[in-house]
Structure 1
Amino acid sequence: MKRLALLAAPFALAACGTSEPEPAPSPTPTPAQPRTLVGADLDLSLLGAKIVGPQGPEVETVLSAGNRQIGTMVSFVACPEGTTECIPGKMPEGTVYTYVHSVTLAEATSDEPEAAPSEGPEVVESPPTLFRTTAKAHGFNAAVGYAKAQAQATLGSEDAISITSDDGQLIWRVVDGSGWKPGTTLTFWWQSTLAPDGPADAYLLEVEGNQAVARGPFPAEKKAASAKQAN
């Protein structure tokens, strides 16, 4: 009996020393990568009446960087073709709203710095030229684009603008052509199944290293919009 007790002792010690299994590692979510979107031309004939807000059918805002005006933006939101009066509260469920933003760069002034050289050893990578939303485009239905005739006239190519969706934010970027010249206009558009919740500082223009926040019509999240209607 004594010998059996001695033999059993190592097994008892081994059982006491067994550790709990380590928990399985939690999966780490992979960040969503920017998604390239196909930009369609702006066709105003497919738009119906505009929403008339406190500022009228269009919202105009001055784009400033520091103490200098770098442009202006005129925006509107329209209902689909055939709509004679665009009143969001009276529109049928599923109505698609088209958000349109025309951005005009300010005219060059005499105290503007000389243009950077385009070739030679002193050339450095130029800052991006882009227009974007600074918040998720709520209700975005994947329809997006710009006025291609303007891109051809202003940039020298109707395909000079690329569009991406980055974490739900829309970005129009000038990637080709002769550059966005002062005094010229580019118009950007996108669609949402949600009506605007009023003007918001939800847009940004970046040109020649200057950034300007732009105020224009922007949809609220659906939950927030529903809660607002209920109150």
Structure 2
Amino acid sequence: MINFSGRAILLDVEGTTSAVAYVYDVMFPFASRGLTAYLDANWGSPALAGVREQVANDTEVPAAATDRDTFEQEITRLMDSDVKATGLKQLQGLIWEAGFKSGELVAHVFNDVPPALERWHNAGLDLRVYSSGSIHAQKLFFGHTTAGNLLPQFSGHYDTQIGGKRESESYQRIAQDWKVKPEDILFLSDVVAELDAAREAGMQTGLCMRPGNADVEPGHGHQELVSFDEIS
């Protein structure tokens, strides 16, 4: 059990609230399949203009901001390499939007997650999400889950625009934005390097050992849990 007496819980998504397999076997292929059609239909849209600039900065390929074929080549390269690039994540969120709204995509969450979120929320804890997926994608995800709309349980969202998930400064910025002392925040993730960074920033941590998660080396120093029911 993790005995937590702080004020706030910060949650990772894949491997923490949701199965890694859903993200990699359903969501990523959906975005990949829909890439060309989305670009054909939206190349000149305001929503895509900012993403194009971001991808050009992420990849240091200026032509990606103006040339459609170069942009698609760079996005495909980022997808194939599973790069946690801000522009890629923003674009994936735009493509996923249609899938979630049509019902073709319904986000997976582990069975213990919805009751835990409700329990924590009712107890007065402040719940927020920090994921490499864009804030837009996070809201789509938690707004369209197998358990219904879970968005009302959350008061905020963070993505890589605040910093990389393996950098302690990112967690310091989150705490400052949240106006909560780091030691009063519990960060839950399946990635030891992320938890190390959060702990260095002063946060409490919990390592999620969900089905399908990658094996971890012993001696990491983080409390382990297989279910949110293990947090009191």
Please confirm whether the aligned pair reaches a TM-score higher than 0.5, indicating the same fold. Answer: no
Q: If each structure's helix is expressed as a fraction of its own residues, which one has the higher value?
A: 2
**Structure having greater relative contact order (Cα 8 Å, sep ≥ 6):** 2
TM-score range, shorter chain: under 0.3
Q: If each structure's strand is expressed as a fraction of its own residues, which one has the higher value?
A: 1
**How high is the TM-score relative to the length of structure 1?**
0.21
